Structure 1
């Protein structure tokens, strides 16, 4: 693949993830009744849900800014890890959260070859 194709793919996946996390954070920040009901069914109150939305949007902003994107990536990976654990704890499907986590890692490896090299290259 050419450098241009790799760059376009990385940014296309970044935009896809940004839209997804923006929608998710928006539902938390606006205290959407359906989202609050779902959160309360697993023991998360409205105030905590709002705080989770703030964390999500801050992580997303860091992910979108090239200078802080690796930090944002790691924060979003941790956030999705928490979502996976929460779903597992309440016997809910983790399929969507795992798919998002995979897309997040693929996007990180495309956008930040140095991260891929550091994580996947064996030490000598």
Structure 2
């Protein structure tokens, strides 16, 4: 695959993740009380979670801070997986998003590949 195709693939995946996380964050801003109570959080806390999600996403999108944003979003998704497990909800979607996030990070940031994957 050419460098141009790799770069385009990385940005397409980044845009898809950005749309997904943006929708998720804005859903947290518009949730009603009954949906939040199921997770044991106050409406204010749920809104803060949405702000944290948007902040991590912005860091992820900006190339200079993308590595930090990736690590923060991975941690965020880990928390989402634990929350789903705690409430006996399916985790398949969260795990798939986590996998896509890692794939995007490996494509966009070669330093991940150099540091995390063993050398042959």
Q: Smaller-chain TM-score range?
A: over 0.9
Displacement of 1:17 in angstroms is 0.1
The equivalent residue for 1:71 is: 68
Q: Pick one of 35, 45, 54 that aligns with 1:48.
A: 45
Whole-angstrom CA distance in 1 between matches of 2:100 and 2:50: 20
Q: Which runs of 5+ in 1 are unaligned?
A: none
* Cα distance in 1 for residues equivalent to 2:82 and 2:2: 38
| Structure 1 residue 116, shift from structure 2 partner | 1.5
Aligned to 1:90: 87
Task: Tell me the distance in 1 between the aligned counterparts of 2:55 and 2:64.
Answer: 14
Listed one character per residue, the Cα deviations across residues 13-55 of structure 1 (whole Å, up to 9, x for unaligned) are: 00000000000111112x332xx43231121210110110010
Match status 1:37 vs 2:46: no
Give the total of aligned pairs.
119
TM value normalised by structure 1: 0.91
Length-normalised TM-score, structure 2: 0.94
Aligned equivalent of 2:17: 17
> Hey, what's the Cα distance between the residues in 1 that align with 2:34 and 2:109?
38
Please list every run of 5 or more consecutive structure 2 residues that lacks an aligned counterpart in the other structure: none
